[in-house]
């Protein structure tokens, strides 16, 4: 037998329906608030990450702009004297696996000998590597950097003269180190210059 509400039970049913509506509305409101909070949290995290990345990039740029050659140079330098035979100089390049050798008299640099000088210039001048000396084919005046010089300036200088290693001098013009393109730019960027003639 079915249930039929009477005039006495109608108010009770209406109250129960209102209570159900309030509970449902409360649950929907809580879910909306939770969704909004999650969205705000994600947005806040994204802003924090963006600010952190921007700050890090700015710091790295400042560090690069203030980095000096004395911070990245190698202090152990293979050198040759002006009266060194070309054959001996070539052997030293091979042993140390370098394409540039500073030419020095004591601690004073007087020139720069590159692999290109040994191959192209020496051949063009008809030099005998067993009797010809470095002074006959070396580059002078030497292209050098200063120990307090900005690394970006040094990189531009090396690209201008197409050299892969740059001697570094102190204030007294004494040789104190040497830098390569890989020291200044990293291996990935220095590889882009391998197609250019070495000097």
pLDDT tens for 31-48 read: 777 777 777 778 777 888
Q: Identify the band that residue 8 occupies on the pLDDT scale cut at 50, 70 and 90.
A: low
Orientation angle between helical segments 10-66 and 151-161, nearest 10 degrees: 60
Residues, the chain? 199
CB-count exposure of residue 73 (10 Å: 0-12, 13-18, 19+): buried
The span from the CA of 125 to the CA of 122, in Å, is 5
Whose tokens are 């005998």? That residue is 128
The span from the CA of 160 to the CA of 62, in Å, is 24
Residues 146-156: what's their mean pLDDT?
Answer: 91
CATH class of 69-193: alpha beta
Residues 95-117: what's their mean pLDDT?
Answer: 91
Residues 100-104: what's their mean pLDDT?
Answer: 94
What are the extents of the domains in the chain?
1-66, 69-193
CB-CB contact of 113 with 134 (8 Å): yes
SS3 110: strand
The mean pLDDT of the chain is 80
Predicted local confidence at residue 192, as pLDDT: 45
DSSP 147: T
Predicted local confidence at residue 197, as pLDDT: 39
127 has pLDDT over 50: yes
Q: Identify the band that residue 191 occupies on the pLDDT scale cut at 50, 70 and 90.
A: very low
């Amino acid at each position: 037998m079915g249930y039929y509400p009477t005039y006495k039970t109608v108010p009770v049913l209406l109250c129960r329906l209102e209570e159900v509506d309030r509970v449902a509305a409360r649950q929907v409101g809580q879910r909306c608030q939770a969704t909004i909070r999650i969205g705000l949290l994600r947005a806040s995290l994204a802003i924090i990450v963006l600010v952190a990345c921007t700050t890090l990039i700015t710091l790295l740029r400042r560090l690069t702009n203030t980095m000096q050659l004395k911070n990245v140079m190698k202090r152990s330098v293979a050198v040759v004297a002006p009266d060194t035979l070309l054959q001996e100089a070539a052997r030293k390049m091979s042993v140390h696996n370098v394409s540039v050798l500073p030419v020095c008299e004591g601690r004073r640099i007087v020139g720069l000998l590159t692999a290109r000088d040994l191959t192209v210039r020496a051949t063009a001048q008809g030099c005998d590597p067993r009797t010809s000396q470095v002074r006959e084919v070396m580059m002078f005046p030497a292209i050098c950097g200063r120990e307090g010089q900005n690394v970006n300036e040094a990189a531009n200088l090396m690209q201008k003269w197409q050299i892969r290693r740059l001697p570094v001098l102190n204030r007294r013009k004494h040789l104190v180190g040497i830098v390569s393109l890989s020291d200044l730019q990293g291996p990935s960027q220095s590889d882009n210059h391998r197609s250019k003639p070495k000097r």
